[in-house]
Amino acid sequence: MFLFIIIAIGVAANIDNLGISMAYGLRSNRIPFIYNLIISIISMAAAYFSIITGNVLSNYLTLSFSNLIGGILLIGLGLWVTLKSTNCTEETKQLVSINWKESVVLGFILALNCLSIGFSAGITGIPPLSTSISVGFFSFISIAIGVRLGHTIGNTFFGKHAERIGGLLLILIGVFEIFI
What's the pLDDT tens digit per position in 33-61? Answer: 999 999 999 999 999 998 898 888 777 77
87 vs 111, more confident: 111
Could you read off the pLDDT of 91-136 as tens digits, one per residue?
Answer: 444 567 888 888 888 888 888 777 777 877 787 778 899 999 999 9
Domain count for the chain:
1
> According to the model, what pLDDT value does residue 39 have?
93
Distance CA 103, CA 91 (A): 25
Give the predicted TM-score (pTM) of the model: 0.70
Across all residues in the chain, what is the average pLDDT? 80
Q: Which candidate, 123, 177, 130, places its Cα nearest to that of 8?
A: 130
151 vs 140, more confident: 140
Residue 73: CATH number of its domain: 1.20.1250
Distance CA 20, CA 41 (A): 17
180 vs 135, more confident: 135
CA dist 14 → 45, 113, 115, 140 (Å): 14, 8, 12, 9
**Residue 75 lies in domain:** 2-179
The mean pLDDT value for 134-160 works out to: 86
What are the start-end ranges of the E strands in 27-180?
29-30, 96-97
